Amino acid sequence: MTLTAPAVIDERIKPTGLIQTLLRRPEVGAAVAALAIFIFFSVSTQAFLTPAGVATWLYSASLFGIMAVAVALLMIGGEFDLSAGAMVGTTGLIVGIITTEWGVNIWLALVIALAIALAIGAANAFVVMKTGLPSFIVTLATFFILQGVNLAVTKIITGTVSIQGMSAVPGFDAVKVFFGSSFSLFGMDMKISIVWWLAITALATWILLRTRSGNWIFAVGGQVTSSRQVGVPVMKVKMGLFMTTAGAGWLVGMLQLFDVSTVQATTGIGQEFIYIICAVVGGCLLTGGYGSAIGAALGALIYGMTLQGIVFAQWDNNWLKAFLGGMLLLAVLVNLYVRRQAGVRS
């Protein structure tokens, strides 16, 4: 008599249900939260869904979203950049000072500011990789350096802590088309920053999901040693991610500068934690190796809607900070639960 062993189904080829497939996506939680907040403020306020209201919270979300997407890529790669907020102000100040005080061509000023931003990002990556120090510490030091330089140098050169008169600089209107213009869409006055936000989110998503560089980003964030052993250029990947974050800081700095034609020495200070919160709400893990550019963009949308929704509802603005803290904690707990339910290993 021959006994036949029962067939064993490999877990890897078992069919996956729709719910489980959705739960595997890091941005699902942020999408649900964004929908809930949209419905809440749409019902509870009159201005939220007006053309002016929609344009306002989309503009706010776009500025945070550009940075959140870049920060999300860096976090997926296993690193942090606490100088991201200060970089926004630094690049704006560089362009403002060398054009209004020294008469440098405005296009050249943009290139100079971008080059300095990328150099700072590369320097952060170099120090982190060569010393083994946590990026949290290295970029925290960079944050304080930039904050001090922004205030001190601006005051020395201009006698104040802000740059005025950008609109009088030759070529300002030509540059404003790319960084500070608006266009009409369905009766709404939409800022060009929204287009930048959507384009960068799409590009980052394509890189993460469709390119070898995206695979490398997930790899170095998950297992650095193993990635290096299989030939992943860890140094290049990390440097590229830090430079991407710095470049995003330059872009947001230009979008703000050419929109309002002025910049303060304190611009961007304190916003680095908002970028991280948006990325975490969007599904990024603090431990790296997991996350989504779309999720980070949705996290920024949540923040933008909440920021303006509180104003429209005429609540005390101090509630925004309480909301941020609660949203961060809830996002971490939801991400942990979803990953456990979906059977995805951290």
Bridge partner list, 107 = none
The pLDDT of 191-206, averaged and rounded, is: 97
Residue from 344, 277, 300 nearest 75 by CA:
277
Query: What is the structure's pLDDT at 230?
Result: 87
Cβ(253)–Cβ(88) under 8 Å? Answer: yes
- What pLDDT score was predicted for residue 13? 47
Structure tokens at 212: 């070898």
pLDDT digits (tens, 9 = 90+) for 124-176: 999 999 999 999 999 999 999 999 999 999 999 988 988 888 999 999 999 99
pLDDT at 11: 45
Residues 284 and 291: beta-carbon distance below 8 Å: yes
Contact at 8 Å (CB) between 91 and 117?
Answer: yes
Mean pLDDT (the chain, rounded): 88
Q: What is the share, in percent, of the chain residues with pLDDT greater than 70? A: 90
Q: Average pLDDT for residues 325-341, to the nearest whole number? A: 74
**What would the pLDDT profile of 310-331 be if each residue is shown by its tens digit?**
889 888 888 888 887 887 787 7
Banded model confidence at residue 12, pLDDT cuts 50, 70, 90: very low
Contacts of 258 by beta carbon, 8 Å cutoff, 6+ apart = 166, 172, 175, 176, 178, 179, 180
Q: Which domains are present in the chain?
A: 49-335 (1.10.3470)
